Structure 1
């Protein structure tokens, strides 16, 4: 029986910098990649994205006359435990921090989980596990465990870049703590078979990592300008209608008073081009959550299909760029 390997989208932290203490960066999950592209085609992809969940329904077809038995893997986004560029993690206390689930032909599959801790390309998992340190670096348990290690172990791990020395004074004198600084690589994997000449349905569900910022970072003195505006205009494809809608909410007496918070989502689309041929039918639904919210993203043939939903449909679709979505979450003005 022919053996192939299926792996999921290479996902990583967004390159968008944290602009302030109240800004969180989004993670960038994506879809499946099939390494040997000549055997299995993606017949369709139905992708639905909101700030609450991501739902992806695929139909694959084995184009050969032999079953293709595979190992399937879905790497979760790399998590760099850096306090200098915090990321939004839906559930820091769970290994399955995006609440990922998968079903094949309607039947839930229980994937296995591999978690590794890495520093500068070196696997340090055994160091942490041997000292009873949980591998999710943002969890309270990991924070407490690293802070409770013997000082000689802390110093050694700090020298090797596993921990970060954190020194501060909260009014009771200088304190020294050691906090997680490693990168977590978590991968879900399972086995499945693509039967010869048949279609197989695969469904993914997970909670998205939603980056956010209080206020709008792309406004300066009540106008669309500056480095952040240039970045956002390219990344989220601002058009005249979107910009006009934002600007008309800026109070005349407060150029920084637009009543919105930023919400940023990202999804790796380009991996869909790694299957045999193009995506036969592609359907995308984006839900901005509230009719008062604003949304901007790049796409061709976008149609508004409901008070909060926007859709794209395409045939023989070849994704040439990943999907970045900016939702401006409307905030009701507080009475004075």
Structure 2
């Protein structure tokens, strides 16, 4: 995890004690200091021996970061650039989706549903519409679009949830130093 720019509060080793950090890069952390979990649940009765078609619709939890901190598995944390496999042609000939980040909005879609699937989903379709360019990485395959993207899978068994990024173009803050930069450990 990299923390850069602005002020962030980081828990110290003593419970209840916090220290302020500006422009820090945190590396070699043995464990997360906190975790978050969102659960949706409901009771549903299905008719025995019948094929049932189900459609779930909900408003997912949206998050935003404007510190330039990469939160996506699609982003290389050392360069803040998208990994090589997330590139598209543009009218100017540049093949980067976007060179650097200014702000990132991301939405998490819960697909695992408490991991109680009793088999696969025969026909899984996801359509996300956005006024911003969007990028997602799921099961090792990126998908992206100008104003929307779609993901379809046959015989799909969700093993993890989906996080979708919506990006605003920008530049790297001058305070950022990649974790691999020897000056960042000084």
Q: TM-score normalised to the size of structure 2?
A: 0.51
Report the equivalent of 2:78. Answer: 227
Say if 1:194 and 1:200, in contact at 8 Å, map to a contact too.
Answer: no
Give the equivalent residue in structure 2 for 1:57: none
1:203: which partner in 2?
56
Matched, 1:84 2:41: no
When Rg is computed on C-alpha atoms for both structures, the one with the higher figure is: 1
1:328 pairs with 2:180:
no
Q: Where does residue 194 of structure 1 map in the other structure? A: 46
**Cα deviations across residues 207-240 of structure 1 (Å, max 9, x unaligned)?**
41313124x456xxxxx9762648x63xxx7523
The number of residue pairs the alignment matches comes to 144
Report the equivalent of 1:281.
123
- Unpaired runs of 5+ in structure 1? 1-15, 24-82, 86-158, 169-181, 219-223, 248-257, 332-336
Higher share of residues assigned helix: 1
Q: Which position in structure 2 is the counterpart of 1:241?
A: 88
Q: Give the TM-score taking structure 1 as reference length.
A: 0.32
Secondary structure of 1:277's counterpart equals: coil
User: Counterparts of 1:186 and 1:272 in 2: how far apart (Å)?
Assistant: 10
Using the TM superposition, give the Cα deviation of residue 280 of structure 1 relative to its aligned residue in structure 2, in angstroms. 0.7
What does residue range 1-336 of structure 1 map to in structure 2 within 5 Å?
18-21=3-6, 83-84=9-10, 164=16, 190-198=42-50, 199=52, 201=54, 203-214=56-67, 216-217=68-69, 227=78, 229=80, 233=83, 238-241=85-88, 244-247=96-99, 260-270=102-112, 274-287=116-129, 289-290=130-131, 293-299=132-138, 302=143, 308-330=147-169
Check 1:210–1:278 CA distance in 2 against 1; reply closer, same or farther (3 A cut).
same
Q: Partner of 1:58 in structure 2? A: none
| Structure 1 residue 278: Cα displacement | 1.0
